Amino acid sequence: MTSQEVRRSKADELSVVRQPLPRRDQAEKIAGTTRYAGDVVHPGMLRAGLVRSPVPSARIVRRDAGEAVKVPGVVAVLFGEDVPHNEVWVDVPGQTIEVAPLKANMEILATDRVRFQGEPVALVIAETEEALTEASERVEVDYAEEPGVFDPELALADGAPPVHPQGNLLARWDIDAGDVGAAFESADLVVEGTYATQPVDHAYLEPEAGVGWLDDEGVLNLRVSTQVVQHYRDVARILGIPEARVRVIAPYVGGGFGGKEDMTVEPYLALAVWRTGREVRMEWSRPESLQARAKRHPMRMRYRTAARSDGTIIGQDIEITADSGAYAYLSALVLLYAAVHACGPYRTPNVRLRARCAYTNNPPTSAFRGFGGMQVVLGYESQIDEVARRLGLPPGEVRKRNSLVKGDVLPVGQVIETEVLLPQTIDAVLERAGPPPSGSGPRRAAGRAIASNLQSYGRLVWLNDAAAAWVGFEPDGSVRVRCGVQDLGGGQASSLAQIAGELLAVPADQIVVHFGDSALNPVAGTTTATRQLLMSGNAVHDATAALRDQVLGAVAADRGEPVESLRFSPGAVTGPGLRLPVPEALALCRRRNVPTEALGTFFGPKGVPVTRNLRSGRVFPDFTFGTHLCDVEVDLDTGQVRVLRYIAAHDVGRAINPLSVEGQISGAVVQGLGMALLEEVVLDEGINLTAGFFQYLVPTASDVPDIEVIVLESGEGMGPFGARGIGEPPIGPPLAAVANAIRDAVGTRPTILPITPERVLACLPSTRS
């Protein structure tokens, strides 16, 4: 059997995987003993903090720490000149020099220009938080404000102030497929819509934090809340020291969602440790995090959809403009995701797509769960909903009619290689939902709608993604897994234990997973892009399968039995007439010089790098499909919207841990509902007005109903045992499910997020007396 075949095992053959096992990390978290990055407090630890620009666009005229260093307890104040290599470079893939630099740079501490409110200018290191605060206020920085630009379309217009010297167009992607002109000519119906999504914040409950120190070898250690331990390489470059002399440890992270994918505290902690030689701690305050951390890309989307009278979509003409904020970060890739996902899970033979993203003096935007593939759900699902309405066809039927099937080709050229259960997810939510809701009173209107989506899992194929894992037996038969995976609470680490346990018939309490340490564990790559189950899951699977084969092979050779007749059973290697306790099998291996550990590397699917005109074929390994259903009630006097009911169905391929899968879906849906109805980073000429949890409104338990989850298992994902990724896919449909449901309730469609009560009132025929 090939690895791929082994991976896609039949569901009924699995005994550990697919069990709703509570995770071990949960017990510690419930007991309160988990030590997050900020929970390490030692006497004598230094404190580090940043002085940030209060203005969004300015030259720095003068910087002076003279008064600040006089504050008792201050150890040092660093500016850009004190940083050995004061720059990080970010790839801007697929672009030409005409559009943007192939790399975009950013300073660790700004020297002569600031480009967004909150940009770091100085690093203060002190003995106490109080001294840190006082000294920070005494660092003198004089800014000469310069005109800024705060709207991406304005930034792309002639005469806009350049945020960076090379101009404000950071990235563009174009798709031209088929003959869009002919499609629109021959269409029975053309639907036009303009949609806008807002910048939102990850609002993870654990703000950015970490501790740094030099160990006995003089290696710089950083124990930080991060999704990417590989940033040790960037830190090393910034300090100008060998990469092997930096180590990043990721403890359990209190929420990431993409916001801890870029470096946050790492470079500053590293500088403070490197400069002082002492243990240093850094914690960002919530207002600091809300103000200065990278946000989700706001997007303006103009859709023209051509359809036949039977609801078949024959063409899409799409324009997307995204705001990159002051620095590139991952903007080019986010825009790429938006472009590839922009037509949704539907066969679309004729497409013209133009996607742009522009620099502005707004806070930078970067990775956030869904990564550009989720904003466009508002566009394509609003459009198809409108097509169905205007043609008088059931929304589910229109989606099924257009649904991709295995073997279809996306406009970008990618072939769908796995089974698509989209129609089944539509049927599942409609069947579960039963009769539609009705308003609870004369001034209430109820509505129902569905929204479907596709979202990639696994990283872009030309990034040569890989993950490695080491699996080994202890002599007593317990198992150790070493894998650099970062655990954000989605069961990333414990899923690996389940996978190893499945193959070796070892119970969960006898498997330990060492994760998140760049020095001690094989690198597993980022916990982002819904990739960990695919990548580290497969790496652990392959390493464990190799280990299993090694041990069974040694026993087979020793006993003269065919290896196919042997298997691991709980506690023993078994076969016809054979039951050898595992410790004895391991001793046998040692006698025969057979290793009782294995290192496995899983390489992600490969492809050629994209060019600016996206027709290169495979972009992602695969996609996850789903459909959500939402019932709402609208208060016609106040415009308030209550979500009465929410059902989410996804094909997850194989649910490695069903409780984890449901948890991911439920959590992602609520984040999506938050973006649909409540959350907004409000910027006024680059000044953040929502830098506190009183103003930035995160959904609470009182704002959402129970999320009913339906899990379908096609068994055809590319992850271990046929799993698909599920972390990101459920976050997009709520945007459109809510908008479509309001359209159903009141007759007009909200097109701008968040859908505030005021915006709903504006949708109503005039009911105000």
Partner 1 sequence: MSPETVTITVNGSRRTATAGGHLSLLRWLREQAGVTDPKYGCGEGVCGACAVLVDGLPVASCIVLAAQVDGCEVTTAAGLRRPDGSPGPLQRAFHRSHAVQCGFCTPGMLVCATALLAEGRPLDRQEIREALHGNICRCTGYGPIVTAIEAAQHELAAGAEGGAEPS
Partner 2 sequence: MYTRAFRYERADDLPAACAALRRHGEGARVLAGGQSLLPMINVGLAAPEVLVDISRVAEAREITARDGYLSIGALVTHRELIASEVARAAQPLLGAAAAHIGSARIRNRGTLGGSLAHSDPAAELPVVMTALGASYELTDGRAEREVRAEEFAITVFTTELQPDELLVAARVPVLGPGWGWSFREVSRRRGDFALASAAALVRTAGGILVEARLALGGVADRAVRLAAVEAALTGATRDEIAARVGPIEGISPVTDTGASAEYRRHLARVLAVQALEEACARSEGTVSGERGTVSGREQ
* Binding site residues, partner 2, CB under 8 A: 49, 129-130, 132-134, 283-285, 287-288, 637-640, 678, 680, 682, 689-690, 692, 694-695, 697, 699-700, 702-703, 756-758, 761, 768-769
Interacting residues of 56 by C-beta distance below 8 A, sequence separation 6+: 114, 115, 116, 117, 148, 150, 326, 361, 362, 685, 686, 687
Residue ranges that bind partner 1, judged by CB under 8 A:
20, 22-23, 25-36, 38-39, 41, 130, 202-207, 252-255, 257, 283, 285-287, 488-491, 659-660, 662-663, 665-671, 692-694, 698, 700-704, 706-707
Our CB check for partner 2 shows the closer of 161 and 757 to be: 757
Report in angstroms how near the CB of residue 693 gets to partner 2 at its nearest: 10
3-state secondary structure 100-159: CCCEEEEECCCCCEECCCCCEEEEEEECCHHHHHHHHHHCEEEEEECCCCCCHHHHCCCC
CB-based contact 496:522 (threshold 8 Å): no
Per partner kind, with CB cut-offs from 5 to 8 A, the member of partner 2, partner 1, none near residue 22 is partner 1
Per partner kind, with CB cut-offs from 5 to 8 A, the member of partner 2, partner 1, none near residue 707 is partner 1
Per partner kind, with CB cut-offs from 5 to 8 A, the member of partner 2, partner 1, none near residue 669 is partner 1
Our CB check for partner 2 shows the closer of 355 and 761 to be: 761
Per partner kind, with CB cut-offs from 5 to 8 A, the member of partner 2, partner 1, none near residue 586 is none
Distance between terminal CA atoms of the chain?
Answer: 73
Report in angstroms how near the CB of residue 679 gets to partner 1 at its nearest: 11
Our CB check for partner 1 shows the closer of 424 and 671 to be: 671
Residue with tokens 């240093």: 280
Per partner kind, with CB cut-offs from 5 to 8 A, the member of partner 1, partner 2, none near residue 768 is partner 2
Our CB check for partner 2 shows the closer of 421 and 755 to be: 755
Per partner kind, with CB cut-offs from 5 to 8 A, the member of partner 2, partner 1, none near residue 769 is partner 2
Per partner kind, with CB cut-offs from 5 to 8 A, the member of partner 1, partner 2, none near residue 336 is none
Our CB check for partner 1 shows the closer of 173 and 515 to be: 515
Report in angstroms how near the CB of residue 723 gets to partner 2 at its nearest: 36
Our CB check for partner 1 shows the closer of 99 and 290 to be: 290
Our CB check for partner 1 shows the closer of 203 and 551 to be: 203
Q: How many CA atoms lie within 13 A of 132 on its CB side?
A: 21
Per partner kind, with CB cut-offs from 5 to 8 A, the member of partner 1, partner 2, none near residue 678 is partner 2
Our CB check for partner 2 shows the closer of 25 and 703 to be: 703
* Buried/exposed code over 128-160 (b: 16+ C-beta within 10 A; e: otherwise): eeebbebbbebbebebeeeebbbbbeebbeeeb
Report in angstroms how near the CB of residue 516 gets to partner 1 at its nearest: 13
Our CB check for partner 2 shows the closer of 132 and 421 to be: 132
Report in angstroms how near the CB of residue 291 gets to partner 2 at its nearest: 11
Our CB check for partner 2 shows the closer of 377 and 704 to be: 704
How far is Cα of residue 486 from the mean position of the Cα atoms in its chain?
Answer: 13
**Facing residues of 566 across strands?**
none
Tokens of 759: 């915006």
Per partner kind, with CB cut-offs from 5 to 8 A, the member of partner 2, partner 1, none near residue 39 is partner 1
Report in angstroms how near the CB of residue 287 gets to partner 2 at its nearest: 5
Per partner kind, with CB cut-offs from 5 to 8 A, the member of partner 1, partner 2, none near residue 365 is none
Q: Are strands 511-515 and 479-483 parallel, antiparallel or unpaired?
A: parallel
Our CB check for partner 2 shows the closer of 506 and 675 to be: 675
Our CB check for partner 1 shows the closer of 25 and 82 to be: 25
Per partner kind, with CB cut-offs from 5 to 8 A, the member of partner 2, partner 1, none near residue 36 is partner 1
CB-based contact 488:37 (threshold 8 Å): no
Local structure of residue 572 (DSSP, 8 states): E
CB-based contact 646:669 (threshold 8 Å): yes
Our CB check for partner 2 shows the closer of 16 and 761 to be: 761
Report in angstroms how near the CB of residue 125 gets to partner 2 at its nearest: 14
Q: Give, to the nearest 10 degrees, the angle between helix 582-591 and helix 538-559.
A: 80
Report in angstroms how near the CB of residue 702 gets to partner 2 at its nearest: 4
C-alpha 624/C-alpha 716 separation (Å) is: 10
C-alpha distances in Å from residue 717, one per residue of 17, 211, 541, 654, 714: 15, 39, 14, 7, 7
Report in angstroms how near the CB of residue 327 gets to partner 2 at its nearest: 23
CB-based contact 175:351 (threshold 8 Å): yes
* Buried/exposed code over 570-600 (b: 16+ C-beta within 10 A; e: otherwise): ebbbbbeeeebebbebbebbeeeebebbbbb
C-alpha 215/C-alpha 41 separation (Å) is: 17
Report in angstroms how near the CB of residue 769 gets to partner 2 at its nearest: 7
Per partner kind, with CB cut-offs from 5 to 8 A, the member of partner 2, partner 1, none near residue 637 is partner 2
Report in angstroms how near the CB of residue 690 gets to partner 2 at its nearest: 5
Report in angstroms how near the CB of residue 80 gets to partner 2 at its nearest: 22
Q: Give counts: helices (H), strands (E), the chain.
A: 19, 30
Our CB check for partner 1 shows the closer of 20 and 747 to be: 20
Per partner kind, with CB cut-offs from 5 to 8 A, the member of partner 2, partner 1, none near residue 695 is partner 2
Report in angstroms how near the CB of residue 681 gets to partner 2 at its nearest: 10
Per partner kind, with CB cut-offs from 5 to 8 A, the member of partner 1, partner 2, none near residue 489 is partner 1
Which residues of 215-279 form beta strands (DSSP E)?
A: 220-224, 246-249
Give which of 447, 369, 452 is closest to 649, Cα–Cα: 452
Report in angstroms how near the CB of residue 128 gets to partner 2 at its nearest: 8
C-alpha 338/C-alpha 353 separation (Å) is: 10
Taken in order 132, 201, 526, 353, is the CA torsion positive or negative?
Answer: negative
Q: What percent helix, strand, coil does the chain show, rounded to 5?
A: 30, 25, 45
